[in-house]
Amino acid sequence: HLVKEEAMQSYRQSYFTLIAMNFGPMAAMVKGDMPWDDDKMLALAEDFAAVASVDVARAFGPGSDKGTTRAKPEIWENTDDFLEKYAALQSASKDLLAAAKSGDRGAIGGAIKDTGGTCKACHDEYKAKD
């Protein structure tokens, strides 16, 4: 392997840290928990879509299941189902980017809701409760 197996859990979790740290502030702006900033929204939507386009299957490669994790073993077993669910997130990230480019706050709010739904679909199935 090009990446040491010991580094793979960190790779997988870092991937989702990037997803969460780009999605979170957008959701916070929509909810009114953070002041709305059009430029910031667009920059976050661009990075979120870019990160979502990075090969997620590789993040679940050999060694990625080692160590303490809230990921359930099934996510490594039901690969086709997981990748199908992830494809919905990728698609939603593109719609969200289009909405952010339009600047239409209603459309952005709807796209955030749809995207959050694609996060939750996987968490419900494959992530243990905190």
Q: Which is closer to ligand ASC, CB of 63 or CB of 71? A: 71
Return residues touching ligand ASC (CB under 6 A): 20, 23-24, 27, 116, 119-120, 123
Q: Which is closer to ligand ASC, CB of 8 or CB of 119? A: 119
Three-state SS at 105: helix
Tokens coding 88 = 């919905």
Q: Which is closer to ligand ASC, CB of 24 or CB of 61? A: 24
**H or E segment and range at residue 26:** helix 5-31
Rounded to whole angstroms, the Cα distance separating 83 from 88 reads 9
Helix, strand, coil percent content, the chain, rounded in steps of 5? 75, 0, 25
CB of 64 to ligand ASC, least distance (A): 19
Q: Which is closer to ligand ASC, CB of 23 or CB of 60? A: 23
Nearest CA among 23, 28, 10 for reference residue 50: 23
Rounded to whole angstroms, the Cα distance separating 84 from 61 reads 17
CB of 19 to ligand ASC, least distance (A): 9
CB of 37 to ligand ASC, least distance (A): 17
CB of 6 to ligand ASC, least distance (A): 26
